[in-house]
Amino acid sequence: MLRYLEENLDILSTSEHEQIPLLQSLEEYCNKDVASFDVPGHVKDQGVEILNNYFGKKLMKMDINSSPQMDNVSNPKGIIKEAEQLLAKAYKANNAFFMTNGTTQGIHAMILSVLNPGDKIILPRNVHKSVINALILSGGIPVYIQPEYDDELGISLNLSVEKINKVLDENNDAKALFLLNPTYYGACSDLKEIVKICHDRNILVLVDEAHGAHFPFYDELPPSAMECNADMSAVSLHKTGGALTQASALLVNNKNIDEKKVLQHINMLQSTSASYLLMASLDGARSNLMLNGEGQLSKALNLARYAKRKINKIKGIKVISNELLESEGVSFIDETKLCINVKELNLTGFEVYDLLYKNFNVQVELGDMYNILALISIGTIKSDVDKLIKSLNIISNMNSKNVLINSIKIKQVLPRVKLSPREAFYSKKESKLLNNCINKVCAESIMAYPPGIPIISPGEIITEEIIDYINLLKNSKAYLTDMNDKTLNTILVVR
């Protein structure tokens, strides 16, 4: 009898997610014969024919501004609120807020909502640049933990419970802990245990779940932040959930979080003309994940396992996924992220990334020194996976360079913090030659993108190791970004 009730509750829950209130209302509004004297200036499909030709008239009609029928994201009371509540239910959160400027906006709002200037926040050093920028905005003080590291892959993994306990003992005045679930390469720590440890100490847990929006919808994937009782998480539904690019959400799971304050900070960061196309895509993506996600993600996982089997037969190439579960700080792995190690080809990941695109019309997510990362998602098809496999096989048989990539050793660097990111960002600065910056305090961020993890951030001491690593990335043709001098011959330092 209990099982029967549980099954029927699941049916009721699923049928509720057939509703798409915002998406449906947007279509209804566009089908009305409304004489528009408001923005946007293209006025549906009436003003810019070239956009109609490229995007289609229906999409142009659906690019609207707020109206009484369509609610307002700055203070949602109608269909936007209804759609946000459905999203919260899908993720088992107390509340959800639509983000139209990506998870970057969600991370900024999350940190600004809980930190006052001078508050400590504990975080791994391999966070996205949006976290550092949030500390500049909030005046928060970072306490970095060195994540576990895989020498073979040359990548940072996630945080171990032991390291977190140690840092918490040393910083019992910290306000929050910030975590990745997962890392860019799919590594997840024991988030449930970490949340429990933090809550026992009255420390909030904030989670960057940019690459884990799909987790709640298939039971062979890692547990989500909300399932692990984290207080807040920011999820990129556009990355792995099927929404349009920049469409994300901020989830709240703790009744002690002041949601009015959260919305206040969201409104400081979000346009008052938030895109209805992006918000409606969140509504549609949520419905699809609840109704079809299990089947689509099962297919994606099977494709990822198929790709791994085939690629591992190619000389000089190896896919690493579940093997990382033997590493400290990794309790779960997202197998849909194919970390493809290519260093035995004597090619860098940057070079393989370029070869795949230029020679084979294959676009992967990123290349780093030793690896490329290919994402298998709900939209991936087998013929594309086969194209990736075939392309890698051809690259494997190409003549490689004489330089052994194995001889290029990547060091894990944990810079020492001298000033808070905010203090350094607003300090008086000067530009110095890169090789003359040893022991100077950095006044800008420098990173390879993707993934957008800073090599050095404002307020950190520049060391010889960091300069060597920057030169290594420059010589390897990595795409470096955010620095003032685009050639990176000089760095901004605190005067």
Give the SS3 label for residue 438.
coil
Of 159-163, 358-362, 463-467, least confident by mean pLDDT is 463-467
Residues 104 and 212 in one domain: yes
Task: Say if strands 232-235 and 248-252 run parallel, antiparallel, or are unpaired.
Answer: antiparallel
Which pLDDT band, with edges at 50, 70 and 90, does 370 fall under? very high
Residues 363 and 473 in one domain: no
pLDDT in tens, 103-156: 999 999 999 999 999 999 999 988 999 999 999 999 999 999 989 989 888 888
Residues 58 and 172 in one domain: yes
* Residue 265: CATH number of its domain: 3.40.640.10
Is the pLDDT at 13 greater than 70? The verdict is no
Residues 54 and 178 in one domain: yes
Question: Is residue 330 domain-resident?
Answer: yes
Domain boundary among 290, 324, 339: 290
Residues 113 and 168 in one domain: yes
Angle (nearest 5°) at CA 216 between 213 and 217: 100
- Which residue segment(s) compose the domain that 426 sits in? 421-494
Q: Tell me what pLDDT residue 406 has.
A: 57
Tokens for 464, please give them. Answer: 């010889």
Residues 359 and 255 in one domain: no
Q: How far apart are CA 25 and CA 124, in angstroms?
A: 42
Write out the H or E segment, with its range, that includes residue 82: helix 79-90
Question: Is residue 1 domain-resident?
Answer: no
Which pLDDT band, with edges at 50, 70 and 90, does 14 fall under? low
Q: How far apart are CA 375 and CA 242, in angstroms?
A: 13
**Per the structure, how many domains does the chain have?**
3
Is the CB of residue 458 less than 8 Å from the CB of residue 444? yes
pLDDT in tens, 329-349: 999 999 999 999 999 999 999
Query: Which residue did the predictor score with more confidence, 211 or 272?
Result: 211
Report, in angstroms and rounded to the nearest whole number, the Rg of the chain calculated over CA atoms. Answer: 23
